[in-house]
Amino acid sequence: MSSRDLVLGRVRRALADTGRDETPYEQAMSRAYLRRHGDRTVEETVDLLAENLADYRAIVHRSDTEHLPALLARLLTARGAHRVAVPQGLPPGWLSGVEQVPDRAESTPYELDGVDSVVTGCAVAIAETGTIVLDGSPDQGRRRITLVPDHHICVVRVPGQVVSSVPEALERLDPARPLTWISGPSATSDIELDRVEGVHGPRTLEVVLVSEE
Amino acid sequence: MSGTFVGMPSFPEAAHAAVGNKTLRGNLRHATHTIRAKRAKAVAELSDWAQLREAGRQIKDHTLRHLDRYLMQLEEAVTAAGGTVHWAADADEANRIVTGLVKATGESEVVKVKSMATQEIGLNEALEAEGIRAYETDLAELIVQLGKDRPSHILVPAIHRNRGEIRDIFRSEMGEWGRPAPDGLTDTPAELAEAARLHLREKFLRAKVGISGANFMVAETGTLVVVESEGNGRMCLTLPETLISVVGIEKIVPTWRDLEVFLQTLPRSSTAERMNPYTSMWTGTTDAETADGPRAFHLVLLDNGRTDTLSDQVGRQALRCIRCSACLNVCPVYERAGGHAYGSVYPGPIGAILSPQLRGTESEIDASLPYASSLCGACYEVCPVAIDIPEVLVHLRERVVEGGTVTRAGNKVVLKPAKGHAAERAAMRAARWAFGHPGALRSGQRLASRSRRFLPRTLPGPGRAWSASRELPAVPAEPFRDWWQRTHGGQEAR
């Protein structure tokens, strides 16, 4: 007998005392919890996102489409970044004056280790938890480009990409894509259960909230 | 890791040694009290916590009730997304599968994301025996591995170490495993984290094989979820060419939507955060054009006592556990005894009900674990999936004392009553007889009242252990039943 059949057989014998519940799944579940916590205007939701991002030590900036390139240039200069990883689909015109290292399938982790910063868009941002989610779309690139460099600038279009809650975010996401949920810079609570920022992922996370026209 | 759980002394013995260790008690007290207050605050932010907890309970119970169906659905979805699914009935089989997969890549080292399942099966030791070196990359796991120590907490395996001890371990051991600790390393947490970053980076960059567990597996989509803080998880899940995930069969949730419950309850319960810094979700492998992450993905579904646990109608609720460790942080017994005394990778209240079910109650340590509790119920209060840990503890105590039919490795076996509890059984038999014979009970009570000044403060013989840590109840001057009759139920004057 294969181990698969062995384990499945054990499961079925273990459940011999229970009947099958043929109620459709969603009807069988009580989802009495809230879809979002509290009623907020669009502006208040964006403010909450900014507040929660900052609470977990992300650096938050606000801008608009027109002033975004200048802001990005200023942030990268302040950081002293020369080489910047760039996803293939980052809107042209966002970056200038730095050496751009395109996200390529064949680049190695070692190459990325020599990159100073990375600039990406995002798929969705969650106000209640201060989370940005990347889904590998053309303006976000492969997962590793936002992991190996020590400085990540993530551009969030507001209010279009902002949702209130975790349930609302999952509705917008496609599970078939590789997803990375980011809430502040890399951190650990492993020393005396006290949170310290900055371990393996980018130690500096800057989030730019860009107002759409 | 050289630490082992084989041949552990019973919980009272191990705990007795631990409570004498002042440093350990200080470290644990500091850490658990810090997190307790923070957790309470994080949970209070959500007005619908009770409803989220109930939904979590229902989702997990429903999944367990139809586990065979969801396992097959998951297998199909993972396979369709380019992954390969393996089934392991026990630890040895899982270790054989993983070792074989690593060898097939030709590599002799792997990087690991913190995983309870691989700890449980002793994967690192099994790999070592085959000449494969496994590098733990979670900071706390690294501290444990470098210190040749054993984990003592589900979430923070090195919780028993304070910053000074961690600095000393880094200074003396890092050089053995790769890049040594920086000169002049101090004990500030930020510097210790930086030392770990430098030490592990070279390993991440060259790694060809990553090994992980998973917090959740979504049956309908085949998606795996790893929740972490440091980014070591992301490194192991995305940089290597081959990824092997070893996951207990109870980690399934039926639908994508179900994650909306656990992604709210898990971070707040474990690290007291609104959301943990990083969560990775992946479904099989990506196509050649996307080329994001490992090209080969293997999922090893692990039983290792889970189906035995599932066959126990009271005990099966332990399989709802999402390994948040909130129950450890509030437990007065854990706070004083520490994690090592539980003799398992699963310490604390959840360990006291999980280990004896996964491993059986035959060994001394496992038979003693259901007693490692004062039954105060704090663990049940904080559990985000509402596992009634005290109920299961009492149920397992009964099994230890009375014996009975249980399932081991899929087969029904009859356990004999445990030897050490003969006195308890004799006392209970005597009590049953006395309560069934009112005359004898009355005589006995009157005799006890009259001789109460001469009764010892501790019990003799086998009862001594019981009275060593408890006050014997004071015997009243007059038995209650006599008083009731004399005063007509207290209506007449005393």
Q: HSE of B16 in the Cβ direction (CA atoms, 13 Å)?
A: 6
pLDDT category at B460 given cuts 50, 70, 90 is confident
- Which pLDDT band, with edges at 50, 70 and 90, does B46 fall under? very high
Q: Where in chain B is the domain with CATH 3.40.50.10420?
A: 11-306
Minimum-distance CB partner of B54 among A9, A30, A183:
A30
Model pLDDT for residues B397-451, shown as the tens digit of each residue: 999 999 999 999 999 999 888 777 777 778 888 888 888 998 888 888 888 888 8
B441: number of Cβ within 10 Å: 16
Amino acid of residue B226: V
| Rounded distance between C-alpha atoms, residue B125 and residue B379, angstroms | 32
Run of H or E including B414:
strand B411-415
Q: Three-state SS for B411?
A: strand
pLDDT below 50 — which residues of chain A? Answer: none
**Which residues, other chains included, contact B335 with Cβ-Cβ below 8 Å and sequence gap of 6+?**
B28, B29, B32
| Alpha carbons A93 and A69: distance in angstroms, whole number | 7
Q: H-type helices in B377-468, by residue range?
A: 378-382, 389-402, 422-436, 438-450, 464-468
Give Cα separations from B366 to A140, A166, B13, B121, B355 (angstroms): 50, 39, 13, 16, 7
- Residue B2: pLDDT band (50, 70, 90) is very low
Helices (H) and strands (E) in chain A, counts: 6, 12
- How many CB atoms lie under 10 A from the CB of residue A170? 20
Token pair 């502040």 in the structure block, residue: A184
Neighbour count for residue A102 (Cβ, 10 Å): 12
- Considering only residues B348 and B20, tell me which one the structure prediction assigns the higher pLDDT: B348
- Residue B64: closest CA among B398, B387, B361, B392: B387
Question: How high is the pLDDT of residue B396?
Answer: 96
Nearest to A11 among B194, B230, B307 (CB): B307
Phi, psi of B350, deg, nearest 5: -65, -35
| Contact: B140, A200; criterion CB under 8 Å | no
Q: Looking at beta carbons, which residues of chain A come within 8 Å of B79?
A: none
Mean pLDDT in residue range B334-350: 95
Residue of A nearest to B78 (CA): A176
Interface list for A 159-198 with B (CB within 8 A): 166-167, 170, 175-198
Closest CA to B274 of B34, B33, B37, B46: B46
Determine the pLDDT at residue B465: 74
| Residue in B166, B169, B202 with CA at minimum distance from that of residue B187 | B166
User: What pairing do the DSSP bridges indicate for beta strands B133-136 and B109-112?
Assistant: parallel
Q: What is the pTM of this model?
A: 0.92
Q: Which two tokens stand for residue B338?
A: 């520490």
What span, in angstroms and rounded, lies between the C-alpha atoms of B382 and B12?
25
The 10 Å CB-count burial string (b at 16+, else e) for B10-31 is: bbeebbeebeeeeebbebbeeb
Q: How would you list the strands of the sheet with A124-126, edge to edge?
A: A162-163, A124-126, A131-134, A179-182, B278-283, B223-228, B216-218, B252-253
Strand partners, A206: A59, A153
Backbone phi, then psi, for B377, in 5-degree steps? 90, 5
Closest approach of A66 to chain B, Cα-based (Å) = 31
* Residues paired with A100 in a beta bridge: A84
What's the rounded Cα separation, in Å, for the pair A197 and A207?
A: 16
Alpha carbons A81 and A118: distance in angstroms, whole number: 9
Q: What is the mean pLDDT of residues B280-298?
A: 95
Alpha helices in B45-66, H assignment, sequence order: 49-65
Task: Supply the mean pLDDT for chain B.
Answer: 93
Classify B8 in phi/psi space as left (phi over 0), alpha (psi -120 to 50) or beta: beta
B225 bridge partner residues: B216, B281
A163 touches B208 (CB < 8 A) = no
Residues B299-316 have pLDDT tens digits of: 999 999 999 999 999 999
What lies within 8 Å, CB to CB, of A164 at 6+ separation is: A36, A37, A40, A45, A48, A126, A127, A128
Helix (H, G, I), strand (E, B), or coil: what is residue A120? strand
State how far residue A141 is from chain B, nearest Cα, in angstroms: 9
Give the CATH architecture of domain A38-211. 3-Layer(aba) Sandwich (3.40)
Beta strands in chain A (DSSP E): 59-64, 83-86, 99-102, 117-120, 124-126, 131-134, 151-158, 162-163, 179-182, 187-191, 194-197, 204-211
Peptide bond into A159 cis (omega under 30): yes
Residue A142 contacts B, CB cutoff 8 Å: yes
End-to-end CA distance of chain A: 64
Residues from chain B contacting residue A31 (CB–CB below 8 Å)? 51, 55
pLDDT of res. B407: 94
Phi, psi of B436 (to 5 degrees): -85, -5
User: What number is the average pLDDT over the span B312-339?
Assistant: 96
Q: What is the pLDDT of residue B457?
A: 78
Chain B residues near residue A129 by CB distance under 8 angstroms:
274-275
Across the beta sheet with B109-112, the strand order is B84-88, B296-302, B242-248, B209-212, B109-112, B133-136
What residue segments make up the domains of chain A, in order of their start? 38-211
Q: Name the residue among B62, B274, B308 with its Cβ closest to that of A52.
A: B274
Which conformational region is residue A80 in: left (phi greater than 0), alpha (psi within -120 to 50 degrees), or beta? Answer: left
pLDDT band at B493 (very low <50, low <70, confident <90, very high): low
Segment B99-143, tens digit of pLDDT: 999 999 999 999 999 999 999 999 999 999 999 999 999 999 999
* Chain segment A166-183, per-residue pLDDT in tens: 999 999 999 999 999 999
Q: What percentage of chain B reaches a pLDDT higher than 90?
A: 75
| Helical axes B139-146 vs B189-206, angle rounded to 10° | 90
Q: Do A6 and B254 touch (CB under 8 A)?
A: no
Has residue B32 got a pLDDT over 50?
Answer: yes
Q: Considering only CA atoms, which of B214, B220, B225 is closest in space to residue B73?
A: B220
* Nearest-by-CA chain B residue for A133: B279
Answer positive or negative: Cα dihedral of B237, B242, B245, B246: negative
> Which residues of chain B lie closer than 8 angstroms to A20, CB-CB?
65-66
Residues in chain A: 213
- List the one residue out of A38, A60, A53, A34 whose CA is nearest residue A129: A53
Q: Do B55 and A201 touch (CB under 8 A)?
A: no
Q: Could you tell me the two tokens for B63? A: 């999944």
Contact status of A57 with chain B (Cβ, < 8 Å) = no
Q: Which of the listed CATH numbers 3.40.50.10420, 3.20.20.70, 3.40.50.360, 1.20.1740.10 matches domain B11-306? A: 3.40.50.10420
Q: Can you read off the two tokens belonging to residue B61?
A: 């119970």
Contact B65 A21 (CB under 8 A): yes
Summarize the confidence of residues B377-405 as an average pLDDT: 96
